[in-house]
Structure 1
Amino acid sequence: MKIGVCGTGRMGSSIAQRLMAVGHEVAVWNRNADKTKPLTAAGAKLSASPAELIKGCETVVVMLLNDAASEAVYRGPSGILGADLSGKLVIDMSTVRPDTMVSLGTSVAGKGGAFVECPVGGSTAPAREGKLFGLAGGTEADLAKARPVLEQLCRRIEHVGDLGAGATMKLAVNLPLLVYWQALGEALTICKPLNLPPERLIDILSDTAGTPTAMKGRGAAIAKLLGGEKPGETAFAVSAAKKDLATAVAFGQSIHASLPVTSSALKCFEQAEADGLADADATTVPVHWVKQQTGKGSNA
């Protein structure tokens, strides 16, 4: 199948790699064309615009940073909505506001295309392995068209409702984990006087009821950071995490829901970004917090 990937940041690139690995003919587009070079070097075809990407593919997977990027890529010059969408399938996996998904999906349908939103749980490694958790919104008919592709990208697909439902569920899924990274930083801070080795401290905290599944894969990396080692590959950047928290807070306000803990965590992520950690993995936030609160000693 000819599949386009619109947006080749960390997640978009990982998704494109997965699609190529399972045998699809992949075309790519990104606002910064330099980010497509590893993919084109591996055999992907470069498109000059989102509209050209749509024209040359049966299905296009969209993975964009935020609402502003989505609006620009869909509605801007040579954007997705400027193409002939008759018979085309758009699968949008971006994490944006639910009302944005409703608006974009409705516009795609109005031009004859099928549209499924499917933001995902999981980072770059699960994306490359086809082990994401898809949170789909849209019609049953459109999802049926999208399933063959989604099943190659996701270990689990949940159809949670009409357009906007997937985006809502994704914000809910991300929120507790991101709040946890800040809470972990605070927990590590009060453990500072114990002078325990980082590996032991993380091992103890990881074997408790309050620890998320993500610690199984990220705990060792956090312990290394606490010990003064350099961070590894970024799977989910602080800037992206901050954006997701801000989107959740804004959506909460729009439905008159108060999110005080999320709002507090957002301020901490904003500070981490301002302190130069925008491109670092979100798991650097708890370590950064410890160092902010207790100086630059490496043992937590």
Structure 2
Amino acid sequence: MKIGVCGTGRMGSSIAQRLMSVGHEVGVWNRNSAKTGPLTDAGAKAYASPAELVEASEVIVVMLLNDAATEAVYRGPNGILKSKLAGKLVIDMSTVRPDTMQTIGAAVAQQGAAFVESPVGGSTGPAKEGKLFGLVGGAKADVTRAMPVLEQLCRRIEHVGELGSGATMKLAVNLPLLVYWQALGEALTICKPLNLPADRLIDILSDTAGTPTAMKGRGAVIAKVLGGAPLGETAFGLSAAKKDLATAVQFGASIHAELPVTASALACFEEAEAAGLADADATAVSTRWAKRPSAKK
């Protein structure tokens, strides 16, 4: 199948790699064309615009950073909506506001294409292995059409409702984990007087009821950074995590839902980003807080 991947940041690149590994003919586009280099070296074909990518593909998988990027890539002069969309299938896996998915999806459908949203749980490793968690929104017939591709990318797929439902569910999924990384930093801070080795401290905290599954993969890295090692490989960028928290707070406000803990965590992520950690893994918010000088002596 000819599949176009629109947006080749960390997750988009990993998804493209997975699609190539299972035999698809993959085309790619990214605003920064340098990010398509490793994929074209591996056999993908790069296109000059989203519109050209769409017209060369049967299915288009979209993975963009935020709402602003989504609007620009769909509605721009050479955007997705400027292409010949009739008969195509668009699967948007970005994490954006639910209303953005609804309006973009409606615009795509008006041009005779099928549109499914499937923001995903999981980072780059699971993406390359086809082990993401797809949170799907859209019409039943469109979702059925998308399933063969989604099944090659995801270990579990949940169709949770109409367009916007997947985006809502994704914000809910990310929120507790991102709040946890800040809470972990605070837990590490109050453990300072114990003077325990970092690896032992993380081992103890990891073997408790409040620890998320993500600690299985990130705990050892966090311990090394606490012990003085450089920041490890980025699986889920801190700047992207901050964006997801901000989107959750904005969406909560739009439906009159108060998210005070999320808003507080967002402020801490914003502080870490301003301190130069935008491209670090989201767990850097934990290690930075643990090493941060106390505001009061």
TM-score (norm 2): 0.98
- How many equivalent residue pairs? 295
Match of 2:237?
237
- The reply to whether residue 61 of structure 1 matches residue 61 of structure 2 is yes
Alignment-derived partner of residue 150 in structure 1: 150
Conserved? CA contact 1:189–1:293, under 8 Å:
no
Q: CA deviation at 1:231?
A: 1.8
Give the letter for the 1:292 counterpart. R
Match of residue 125 from structure 2: 125
Alignment of structure 1 residues 11-160 onto 2, 5 Å? 11-160=11-160
Q: Give the match for residue 253 of structure 2.
A: 253
Q: Hey, what's the Cα distance between the residues in 2 that align with 1:190 and 1:253? A: 32
For residue 184 of structure 2, what is the aligned residue in structure 1?
184
Deviation at 1:293, TM superposition (A): 3.4
Q: What letter matches 1:127 in structure 2?
A: A
* 1:85-136 C-alpha deviation (Å, 9 max, x unpaired): 1110000000000000000000000000000000000000000000000000
- Which letter maps to 2:293? Q
Alpha-carbon distance between aligned partners in 2 of 1:55 and 1:235, rounded to the nearest angstrom? 31
Q: Which runs of 4+ in 1 moved over 4 A?
A: none
> Partner amino acid for 1:158?
E
For 2:293 and 2:221, the matched residues in 1 are separated by 20
Cα drift, residue 230 of structure 1: 1.3
SS class of match (1:72) = helix
- Using the alignment, how far apart are the partners of 1:56 and 1:176 within structure 2? 39
Distance (whole Å) between structure 2 residues aligned to residue 169 and residue 27 of structure 1: 29
- Tell me if structure 2 keeps the 8 A contact 1:189–1:294: no
Unaligned runs of 5+ in 1: 296-300
Give yes or no for contact 1:171–1:244 (8 Å, CA) kept in 2. yes
> Contact 1:65–1:94 (CA<8 Å) still a contact in 2?
yes
Conserved 8 A contact 1:58-1:89 = yes
- Residue aligning to 1:298: none
Counterpart residue type for residue 142 of structure 1: D
Contact conserved, 1:116 with 1:136, CA < 8 A, in 2? Answer: yes
Root-mean-square deviation (Å): 0.8
Amino acid at match of 2:271: Q
Aligned mates of 2:38, 2:111 — CA distance in 1: 33
Q: C-alpha distance in 1, partners of 2:165/2:275?
A: 34
Look up the SS of the partner of 1:293 in the other structure. coil
Offset of 1:157 from its aligned partner?
0.2
Alignment of 1:140-289 (within 5 A): 140-289=140-289
Counterpart Cα distance in 1 of 2:4 and 2:69: 17
Question: Is there any run of 5+ residues in structure 2 with no aligned partner, and where?
Answer: none
Question: For residue 254 of structure 2, what is the amino acid of its counterpart?
Answer: S
Report deviation, 1:154: 0.1
Paired amino acid for 1:209? A
